[in-house]
Structure 1
Amino acid sequence: MTDQDILLHKTLKDYFGYEQFRPLQKEIITSLINGEDNLVIMPTGGGKSICYQLPAILLEGLTLVISPLIALMKDQVDALNANGIPAAFVNSSQSTTENTDIIERVKKGAIKLLYLAPESLAFFEQLSQVCKISLIAVDEAHCISSWGHDFRPAYTQLSFLKKRLPNTPLVALTATADKATREDIANQLDISDAKRNISSFNRANLSLEVRPAQDRVTQIVDFVKSKPKESGIVYCLSRKQTEQLADRLKKNGFKAAAYHAGLPADVRSKTQENFIHDTTPIICATIAFGMGIDKSNVRWIIHYNLPKNIEGYYQEIGRAGRDGLDSETILFHSYADVIQLRRFAEGSGQQEVQLAKLDRMLQYAEATSCRRNILLSYFGETATEKCGNCDVCNHPPTFFDGTVIAQKVLSGIFRLQENEPLNVVVDFLRGSQNAAILDKNYQLLKTYGVAKDIAWKDLQQYMIQLINQGFFEIAFHQNNTLKLNELSKEVLFNGMKVSLTKPVDFVKADTKTPQKNSKPENNLFERLRVLRLELATAKGLAAYHVFTDATLKAIANERPVTDEDFLEIEGVGQKKLQDYGYDFITEIIKFNKEKVVKPVKKKRGKSDSHLETYEFYKKGLSIEEIAKERGLTPNTIQSHFVKLYNDGIKIDLSDFVSAKEIEAVRDAQTKVENPKALKSYFDYFNEQLDYAAIKMALVVIENEK
């Protein structure tokens, strides 16, 4: 391993808490450090941000990040600062005084990453005059392309960046871009020679499911009832739907809120903040919500309506399970949505492209083969193995001879002279007596009621399957009326056989009785969740900025009781250890004592490391001397003494903290902002009392109790 490799891995662990790079991250980071332009296509949750955040730490000067949304900037800046990486953002919501302060901090080299909205690029000239810009990152880069699914006109002015700083490496990043969009991004940003880095689009931890849209509100309520502690997003096509669904969920006792562009800016901002901080765990939103928010503990995504293209759908489901834990996605598919989306597409620019993309979305929703393979194929990735984590793989469709049903449907369309849309044809075939039938005397026609033995929703599903197989067509330009074609005649007159699949009753299949969760006091993970929320609230952070659910579960499973072991947890870096390690280790030790639980033995052979430290202590060596002798940090040795003391081994903590310091900490307990957080004491004493003394003092006070 080269010196640079060692430095990269050390930086990754120290600042981000990870032992290993994800696929392509190291190659991209190395390329940027070497001054090369890059185009990065990496799925949501794949680790795009680290690709430019880690080089920013190592490169001299400032890294400029172009980002489309204020919420995105704030979320990423909060996360960076929580990891000990100085970052800030500039956008239209800030005052001139705030912007001047940022310029001063940039001058002093006190900021390593600065996030900037494309609309605020006038600020760029000031920056370039006071500091060296060592790297430029354009996040959500698909916004620059009119071929992309979220075109932003302000992004088109970004082409000047490369012209202005031709020798500064530029990296464009996006989660979703087909081939045409990729080329457009590279050309518009003037990085046509950039290295292309296209990661796998396979998010194996996301389950994929498509359901018919009958009774979807009831289905959603039942689904959420089975996941009382989990956070999720329901994407809706209209603003009205978001509000109606949020109201329905609230009436059922859930903390839910609507989010759409028609709400006042302060309401949208507060809603987003409540979601990030888990105060409102369920959001019913239009697609404007969630872009770029790195909320890692979103456990499910529901699409109330069919999305207009696969790119948007893929990005939206990608907002679930960013911590790598299993998460669920459900898409409701209805005939009415198709009609509405076609109407939108036909009234837009690039009508032909938009309709083609909608057709691909339909093919996905109506598929009878592995859905994940269809998604991967769309983005140019070949997969032949079944995924085993989509509804088609888990519940393969049951085919039966549907020739008689097809003949009845086609005969009905013929008797109605190809003048009626799908729902009227369903009513006619089932013998309904509503106005649409009786006003036109359809009840007198020969095939009226020939399918009355088939449930309405089942017959509708069979007809959609017949459309998908090409046995008749929808004339969208003629009020969505159904039309026969050559295949229709083959079925009606030439004995052509038709296969259909049985509809699934999803409401019955997926209504689950919520399992009774263990009480927080009996479940270490739940106790750590409560502690995490307390620490996050005290700092004004989102809970996942302290630790992700994945890291928290690893802590609960491993139960580390020394700094050394705590630091080995994936997602724990030096800054997180310093800020939160003591609090979590204290809670684990407390839990172990209450439940008489033996700490988990580490396979890595370090569980007795504190006993080795004890042997050196008995020889009279100081913390610094033991650290040097053992090749460990003084902080780790201090944690060994805390464990030894808590285990009842004779350790005189007065060797490390004076009675005066203990009393000072005891007095501060009633005055600090958060008495459970070491940082609160450190700030209270104006950094004059070090973390080690505070930690030792709190251990003594706790044991006195």
Structure 2
Amino acid sequence: MKNELTLTEQLQRHFGFDRFKGQQEEVITSVLEGKDTFVLMPTGGGKSLCYQLPALIMEGTAIVISPLIALMKNQVDSIRSFGTEDGIAHFLNSSLTKQAIQQVKDDVTNGKTKLLYVAPESLTKQENVDFLKSVKISFYAIDEAHCISEWGHDFRPEYRRIRPIIQEIGSAPIIALTATATAKVQHDIQKNLGMLGANVFKASFNRPNLYYALKPKVKPETQIIRFIKENEGKSGIIYCLSRKRVEELAELLRVNGIKALPYHAGMDSATRSGNQDKFLMEEVDVIVATIAFGMGIDKPDVRFVIHYDIPKSLEGYYQETGRAGRDGGEGQCIAFYSYKDIQKLEKFMQGKPVAEQEIGRQLLLDTASYAESAICRRIILLNYFGETLEEPCGNCDNCLNPKEQVEASDEVRRALLAIQEVKEKYKAEHISDILTGKMTAAIKSFHHDELEAFGKGDDHSARFWNAVFRQSMIAGLISKDIENYGLLKLTEKGIAFMAKPEPFLLVRNHNYDELEEEYTSLNAPSGSAVGDPELFEMLKDLRKKVAKKHNLPPFVIFQDPSLSDMSIQYPISIDELKNIQGVGEGKAKRYGAEFVALIKSYVEDNGIERAQDMVVKTVANKSKMKVSIIQSIDRKLSLDDIADSKGIEMGELISELEAIVNSGTKINIDYYIDDLLDEDHQEEVYDYFREAKDDSIQAALDELGEDEYTEEELRLMRIKFMSEMGN
């Protein structure tokens, strides 16, 4: 395969981005090398690029198997917006006319189409199988691959037929992608697709920009209306379990002056997709939906996701909350919880096959644990997906409003001894019944009322003991055997703890059903900045207009970070627009003309000196020292080396840099700061300066902590901040 451009150049050319996110580059390389590839990457991590870019580079057509028609349309529109040819991407499904299907087949046959999206149902149709046998297939991409597993939160039986169909059409490498999968689900997917030897890429499930909170389900409607009014104009999704509740809540919001629409599987498809489009086009702010809504949505600026009802599994919850803040901006994830909802969901499972009930109950127990716990929400979520977070996140309700803790090493030891006494063959529920001395049918038949542990914990409730199990699991003293419906097992650490207990602080859980307190506000800490707010709003209005004209969601034209960058950089030609974050050549040519025209007249009307002009105008008048410093920074020389070569102290060099930036010249010292501070620390300081009343370094040190940052680091971050935001 002959290709002179590097992968990063290909990325820039096709999508306008100058760097890959996370493991994207390694995944793409694996696909280009023809290897089977398994990708576990959270929502917002850039999964689709992992198959879109190799498809554009490789010979032949990539077959993308995707579960939802809405999602396909969304993705195809998105790909087309980056290029200049509509034929580059197509979907093949039941919504197309005969004529449209013929057009798709012609484009594929003529080699125009690089990505062909198909639903698993369409893939199994004989006429499509016969057609695809004649096509040169570069690879198969299986999106939302968790649909394959019965343990996945969205199991679809037709997904289990994908492998035999692929073998019939003709084998080619497979890339399977999902945003949520426990170890069990991952194994299931790989086994079913016959790709146990695949290259596996797992991205972190940590989304630091998402704020997680649980609220007692007390007057949820009132709390929701108040929250939306406090966040006016922001996009949000509210999930409910029943269609009836969706309709009622959407109506209630409308009556209260909130632009909201319902979405559920019981509506006719025209109304349903019309409502989705209105949300994408920003004609309404809020969609109230059943969980059927979401897989087909790729809107990056959803600012809040509210769960009116608690979901059936943590995977479902993670997937749905993952719709928020995909652009890296704020995302508030709020769920209302009442234990009665869990009981209601358990009732729904009656009558299903026993194995399915066991799986469902186990998933529900994990959800209840998460909801009732007082441990950092992010630690629990990441733990569920097999990842550890060393420190509490500081961006969830449990971190920001810590709950009471009690010393419980004695209780933990009692719990571990009970697990040991039943030979690690029972689940949390049964062991808590033993501890509390509850005579259930199971306890009678197994003679567990004769055990030493029986009744040893009757000084506490079953709920308390469940909290002990959960927190012991998080602490690594016990593990749950996912292969066997969640039997509790002791770890080496747990066995050591029984022999020699250590202090153990247990978080005293609130009983959510007894809380009658009404919350005054659900708001998380927030804040995001753009350069010129007035221009930014004008650009957003123009984006809406252009989007309407092309009948595309606004973010397909340009995403918020791109508009923000325009409002900082003021590009007034197509060439300058190409340098804006997230704007490649295709986009600049396709949509750029109106944007640069608007910015040009705005710059002229307001007499704005642009950063591009400033560098040219002001550098010439600077002292030789300043010019030399700017040139050295352009060449990315270390600041220590620059200070040495000028014979000055580091502090003096920083003062020179402050003078350069304050006089209106933009400089980029990211290459130096990146070695000093990690991304999270940079973000924290940046956020501080965004919100700060003034730019005092002492005030910043007091607020952020002298043990965390040095004065030098904060001064350099202030230079970065002033340069990027001010110039």
TM-score (norm 2): 0.68
Question: Displacement, 1:499?
Answer: 8.0
Task: Report the alpha carbon displacement of residue 544 of structure 1 after superposing the two structures with TM.
Answer: 0.7
Corresponding residue for residue 102 of structure 1: 104
The residue that corresponds to 1:237 in the other structure is 241
Are 1:560 and 2:552 matched, yes or no?
Answer: no
Q: Contact 1:222–1:511 at 8 Å: present in 2 too?
A: no
The AA in structure 1 aligned to 2:96 is Q
Q: Name 2:172's counterpart in structure 1.
A: 168
Q: Distance in 2 between matches of 1:591 and 1:569?
A: 18
Letter paired with 1:91: N
Return closer, same or farther for 1:601/1:373 CA change in 2, 3 Å cut-off. farther
Residues 77 and 552 in structure 2, CA contact (< 8 A), matched pair in contact too: yes
- Match of residue 65 from structure 1: 64
Query: Residues 400 and 36 of structure 1: is their aligned pair in 2 closer, same or farther, counting only changes over 3 Å?
Result: closer
Q: CA deviation at 1:486?
A: 3.8
1:510-555 superposed Cα distances (whole Å, 9 cap, x missing partner): 479x99x99x997111111001011111111110100112222222
Deviates more, 1:200-209 or 1:348-357: 348-357
Give 2:89's aligned residue. 87
Q: Distance in 2 between matches of 1:69 and 1:523?
A: 38
Q: Which residue of 1 aligns with 2:336?
A: 332
Report the AA paired with residue 519 of structure 2: V
Candidates 555, 569, 578, aligned match of 2:580: 569
Distance 2:364 2:372 in 1: 12
What are the Cα deviations for residues 355-401 of structure 1, in whole angstroms up to 9, with x where unaligned? 11111111111111110011111111111111111111112124699
Q: CA deviation at 1:34?
A: 0.9
The question of whether the paired residues in 2 share the 8 Å contact of 1:143 and 1:149 is answered with yes
Tell me: CA distance 1:491–1:12, structure 2 relative to 1, closer, same or farther (3 Å): closer
Contact 1:310 1:361 in 2 (8 A): yes
1:549 to 2:560 alignment: yes
Q: Per-residue deviation at 1:601?
A: 5.0
The residue that corresponds to 1:196 in the other structure is: 200
Q: Distance in 2 between matches of 1:476 and 1:104?
A: 66
**Structure 1 residue 131 displacement after superposition:** 2.5
Aligned with 1:368 (options 358, 374, 378): 374
Q: How many residues align?
A: 531
> 2:543·2:554 contact (CA, 8 Å) conserved in 1?
yes
1:63 touches 1:136 (CA, 8 Å); kept in 2? yes
Structure 1: unaligned runs, 5 residues or longer: 402-466, 478-484, 610-705
Give the superposition deviation at 1:25: 0.8
Once the two structures are superposed, the pairs formed by residues 401-412 of structure 1 within 5 Å of their partners are none
1:114 is aligned with what amino acid?
A: L
Distance change >3 Å, CA 511–CA 51, structure 1 → 2: closer
The match for 1:531 is 542
- Specify the SS of the correspondent of 2:611: coil
**Using the alignment, how far apart are the partners of 1:352 and 1:194 within structure 2?**
30
Match of 1:267 in 2: 271
Q: Is it true that 1:221 corresponds to 2:225 in the alignment? A: yes
Quote the residue 1:622 is aligned against: none
Distance 1:346 1:592 in 2: 66
Match in the other structure for 1:697: none
Q: Is contact 1:400–1:501 with CA below 8 Å preserved after alignment?
A: no
CA distance change for structure 1 residues 318 and 57 in 2, over 3 Å: closer, same or farther? same
Alignment of 1:290-329 (within 5 A): 290-329=294-333
Change (3 A) 1:165 1:511: closer
User: Could you tell me which residue of structure 1 aligns to residue 691 of structure 2?
Assistant: none
Q: How does 1:18-33 map onto structure 2 within 5 Å?
A: 18-33=17-32
User: 2:659 maps to what in 1?
Assistant: none
Partner residue, 2:117: 115
Per-residue CA deviation, residues 318-343 of structure 1 (Å, 9 max, x unaligned), is 11111111111101101221111111
Q: What's the counterpart of residue 507 of structure 1?
A: 519
- Mark the CA change 1:356 to 1:35 in structure 2 (over 3 Å): closer, same or farther: same
Cα distance in 1 for residues equivalent to 2:567 and 2:351: 54
- How far 1:563 sits from its partner (Å)? 3.4
Alignment of 1:88-487 (within 5 A): 88-121=90-123, 122=125, 123-164=127-168, 167-349=171-353, 350-398=356-404, 486=455
- For residues 649-692 of structure 1, the C-alpha deviation after alignment (integer angstroms, 9 at most, x for no partner) is xxxxxxxxxxxxxxxxxxxxxxxxxxxxxxxxxxxxxxxxxxxx
Deviation at 1:565, TM superposition (A): 3.4
Contact 1:66–1:116 (CA under 8 A) maintained in structure 2: yes
CA distance in 2, matches of 1:191, 1:501: 43
- Say which SS state the counterpart of residue 508 (structure 1) adopts: coil
- Letter of the structure 1 residue corresponding to residue 401 of structure 2: H
Separation in structure 1 between the aligned mates of residue 236 and residue 226 of structure 2, nearest angstrom? 14
Cα deviation 1:205-255 (Å, max 9, x = unaligned): 111111101010000000100111111110001111111110110001111
The alpha carbon displacement at 1:167 in A equals 4.7
Amino acid of the structure 2 residue aligned with 1:87: A
TM-fit CA distance, 1:268: 1.3
Alignment-derived partner of residue 598 in structure 1: 609
Cα 1:347/1:568, change in 2 over 3 Å: farther
- After TM superposition, give the deviation of residue 489 of structure 1 in Å: 4.4
3-state secondary structure, aligned to 1:302: strand
Aligned partner (choices 593, 597, 604) of residue 586 of structure 1: 597
Over residues 24-60 of structure 1, what are the superposed CA-to-partner deviations in whole Å (9 max), with x where a residue is unaligned?
Answer: 1111111111111111111111111010100011111
Counterpart residue number, 1:49: 48
- Tell me how far 1:501 sits from its aligned partner: 6.4
SS for the counterpart of 1:372 is: helix
Within 2, Cα distance between the matches of 1:527 and 1:472?
Answer: 67
Whole-angstrom distance in 1 between the partners of 2:617 and 2:313? 52
- Note the C-alpha offset of 1:136: 0.8
Query: For the residues of structure 1 that align with 2:29 and 2:460, how far apart are their CA atoms?
Result: 61
Q: Residue type of the partner of 2:73?
A: K
Distance (Å, rounded) in 2 between the aligned partners of 1:532 and 1:307: 35
- Equivalent AA in structure 2 for residue 203 of structure 1: R
Q: What CA distance in whole angstroms lies between the structure 2 residues aligned with 1:322 and 1:281?
A: 16
| CA RMSD between the two structures | 3.5
Q: Which residue of the other structure, out of 485, 490, 495, is the alignment partner of 2:459?
A: 490
CA distance in 1, matches of 2:438, 2:10: 59
* Structure 2 residue ranges without an equivalent (≥5): 408-431, 443-453, 466-504, 620-727
Tell me: CA distance 1:119–1:600, structure 2 relative to 1, closer, same or farther (3 Å): same
Q: Give me the whole-angstrom Cα distance separating, in 2, the residues matched to 1:98 and 1:555.
A: 38
Query: What secondary structure does 2:519 align onto?
Result: helix
- What residue identity is the alignment partner of 1:71? A
SS of corresponding position for 2:251:
helix
1:556 alignment partner AA: S
Change (3 A) 1:125 1:564: same
2:308–2:336 Cα contact (<8 Å) kept: yes
Mapped partners of 2:276, 2:82: distance in 1: 22
Counterpart for residue 617 of structure 1:
none
Distance 1:486 1:542, change over 3 A: same
Contact 1:242 1:285 in 2 (8 A): yes
Q: What's the CA shift for 1:474?
A: 13
Deviation at 1:163, TM superposition (A): 2.1
How far 1:165 moved relative to its partner?
Answer: 5.7
Residue type of the alignment partner of 1:142 = H
CA distance in structure 2 between the aligned counterparts of 1:551 and 1:394, rounded to whole angstroms: 32
Q: Residue 112 of structure 2 aligns to which amino acid in structure 1?
A: A
Which residue number in structure 1 is paired with residue 704 of structure 2?
Answer: none
Write the letter of the residue equivalent to 1:537: K
* One-letter amino acid of the structure 1 residue matched with residue 266 of structure 2: G
